[in-house]
Structure 1
Amino acid sequence: MFTKTFAALIAAAVVLGAPTPPAPSETNILQFALSLEHLERAFYTGALAQYDAQAFADAGFPAWVRGRFTQISAHEQTHVDALTAALGDQAPQPCQYSFPYTDPRSFVALSFAIEGVGAAAYQGAAKFIDDKDTLGVAASILSVEERQVAWVSSAVLKQQPWDGPFETALTPTGAFSLASPFITSCPSSNPALPVTPLPALSISTSTPWPGSTIQLTFDNPDGANAAYAVWLNGLEAVYTPLDGNKQTTVPSGMRGTVYVGVTSNTQVPLTDASMVTGLAIVQMPFDSMAGAADNA
């Protein structure tokens, strides 16, 4: 097991899918942000149109849960409007989406995942924004997204309000690998996004125990050397070797939401060229009610 701590390697900028020069422009980053906001807006408006207050009540949720989701939906529409205005005629249009929720409870669980990816994408993209006013707007949106994640996790799901003292940042390639399964088609006029498409990764359990062995499933059409699993949690990247059956051991010390991918090496900084797959999400939750011994 190999651990890379981002704080100790800050000069090397160890982030998932860090692009090689030239870096994406601010316009590219805003276009990517708007693409994610379009997805989030469609996610909430579609689910709220399908599940009324009675459906949430029948699923065991108090009335205020759907009310808050209605507010979150309005937030996402406002984000879409703001980014569209900023980009003008360079703004991408909404795509067609398909979300695998089947009831209010699966909608809530998926909301937690989607909001987390959106927040991590904003954090990872911040370093590409030079204009201070634009950065301020992005930081404001990021803060709201993080509050929404915390509310869904702690108030609704009764799990952790945060993962730890640091958030996990994802650059566009990592975030897109998690969002792209929900996109069925996009207008041909939309600009190309600053991402590298990667094969999908699935894992045998989404709630693994530290020390357990899990099975990873992915295609490797280019025959890349799939040597390691990388586990991203806060400012840490932990590498665990893959065996010949694409199995690996779950590391200890991970808490909350963890992003997992497959790499060919443990090179620093980690680049798209090292990534064999996109990301998958695993949850190592802890209760929202902290005890005296819980210092997370």
Structure 2
Amino acid sequence: MLNSMLWLAAVGYMPIASASPLSASIPPAPPTASHPNSQPHTPFTGTPTTTGALTASSIGTGIAEASSIAPAETTYASNGKLQNAEPAPYVPAGGVGTSGSIPVYNAKSDFDYESLALALYQEWIELDLFQDGLRRFSAKDFEEAGLNAADRELIAFMAEQEVGHATLISNMLGASAPKQCQYNYPYTNVQEYLDFCQKLTRFGESGVYGFLGHLDSREAATLLTQSITTEARQQMIFRQFEGLFPMPVWFEVGIPQSWAWTLLAPYVASCPADQTRLVWENFPALRILNQPTLSDAGKRNNGSSFNNTLDAGLNVAKASSKENPNSKNDLSAGASVTPDRYSPLSFPGRRVDLQWEEPGRPVGPNDSYVTTSQAGEAKYVAWASQLNITYTPLLGVDGGRGYTIQPDMETYEGDPAVNGTMFIAITDSDLFLTPFNLSMINSHVVAGPALYQAD
């Protein structure tokens, strides 16, 4: 059910001025979605009662890729002149939802519901994550990482933003909307916490961009756009907290829902018994064995060390601490708007060593999902960044190990395509794809995605 504010918007309600005080004419704000203030952060130890993704009673054999462009897609005369009569003064013909119809902010298809539910899982974990770091680490811990009280207040405000985002999507989905779960995180100090946040917000943002243009509900897409633009700012801030250049790309990449769910699910320990399940696929995990880190900035080497990440998928960099005294991923410079000197962490021609799992591993809430792959033999590494989807050969394959070479390519002249916090996956083919149809890659994914910290 829509909350009162959205319902009022749906029926075109506008408050009417009167002689009474202004506050009396404004409806009260709707309540936020209920969520626990604190909960355990431990792995799931029970036995799953349900396994596998949500499925329908009938499943097709696959979606065929079109062999040609439909003629109607290229018939509009893009010459700067109006081709049709204007439906109203100053209004050009066309557009979706511009006919005066009353907007209803809800899911209008299974695709809408499952996409919005995935986005809600993301908002819930971000809410918990931001609060967890502030609880787990002391003010001194943050100060030693270069963050002051104002920075901690900013993280606390980000958590408040997530309350709003979770409320928004919960109201659009109704009573069956997924609830907040219990989570388990790998970080052990503030540096690792910041890197985890930076990467989790990266795939949270990119995961929505991947499906936003495909939603049947244009109304829901409008509201989701207004929330994801805030998340984009969060991701940029966490990059700054790490001492990284805030936005080294010209475009932000979008990824398929199954990529986002693959990256998110391993950190969801358990969910309520009646939790809404998702349809999306969980791919086998992919680890970058020599993830670029801050210590690699400006250097042309293959990485400061091997096995320098806490996990697969996000590939959060290990940071220096009492437990990891040899790590070089220090943040001694602290947070800043931009670094004094910007140097890429990686470079074209860099060797990237990879390790991946076989399918069949339990993962996600209550260990109730299972990693799968529909692909054949591992042959390529797909690089998804900005507007580009490109492939490099997977070399030296030995069981679940291999390597590739970072490609040298540009989105447009002067803009390296492999840049920022981006995504790679192992595939069985080099299928030609562009941002709007990237989900067609899913049946070719052997393992991944993984977040590659190019800059």
| Deviation per residue, 1:73-96 (Å, 9 max, x gap) | 111111112212222212012222
Q: Which residue pairs with 1:258 in the alignment?
A: 422
Q: Hey, what's the Cα distance between the residues in 1 that align with 2:111 and 2:376? A: 29
Match of 1:234 among 382, 386, 395: 386
Q: How does 1:200-219 map to 2 (within 5 A)?
A: 200-207=285-292, 208-219=346-357
Unmatched 5+ stretches in structure 1: 1-10, 13-22, 286-296
| Deviation per residue, 1:106-163 (Å, 9 max, x gap) | 2111111111111101111202323232111100111001111112213x22322223
Q: Hey, what's the Cα distance between the residues in 2 that align with 1:149 and 1:259? A: 15
Q: Hey, what's the Cα distance between the residues in 2 that align with 1:226 and 1:139? A: 36
Q: Which residue pairs with 1:282 in the alignment?
A: 452
| Deviation per residue, 1:203-252 (Å, 9 max, x gap) | 11111542122221113457831000011110111200112422211112
Q: How does 1:23-62 map to 2 (within 5 A)?
A: 24-62=110-148
What SS does the aligned partner of 1:31 have?
A: helix
**TM-score normalized by the length of structure 1:** 0.83
More displaced, 46-55 or 64-73?
46-55
More displaced, 116-125 or 54-63?
54-63
Whether 1:83 aligns to 2:169 is: yes
Q: Which residue pairs with 2:405 in the alignment?
A: 249
Higher relative contact order by CA 8 Å / sep ≥ 6: 1 or 2?
1
Q: How does 1:41-190 map to 2 (within 5 A)?
A: 41-154=127-240, 156-190=241-275
Change (3 A) 1:188 1:266: farther
Q: Hey, what's the Cα distance between the residues in 2 that align with 1:226 and 1:205? A: 20
- 2:406 alignment partner AA: V
Q: Hey, what's the Cα distance between the residues in 1 that align with 2:141 and 2:356? A: 36
Q: Which residue pairs with 2:16 in the alignment?
A: none
Q: Hey, what's the Cα distance between the residues in 2 that align with 1:192 and 1:271? A: 23
Q: Hey, what's the Cα distance between the residues in 2 that align with 1:187 and 1:138? A: 25
More displaced, 62-71 or 178-187?
178-187
**TM-score normalized by the length of structure 2:** 0.55
Unmatched 5+ stretches in structure 2: 1-68, 71-108, 293-345, 360-372, 409-415, 434-439
More displaced, 80-89 or 35-44?
80-89
Bigger Cα Rg: 2
Would you tell me which structure has more helix in proportion to its own residues? 1
Q: Which residue pairs with 1:290 in the alignment?
A: none
Q: Which residue pairs with 1:225 in the alignment?
A: 377
Q: Hey, what's the Cα distance between the residues in 2 that align with 1:215 and 1:107? A: 24
Preserved contact between residue 229 and residue 239 of structure 1 (Cα < 8 Å): yes
Preserved contact between residue 191 and residue 242 of structure 2 (Cα < 8 Å): no
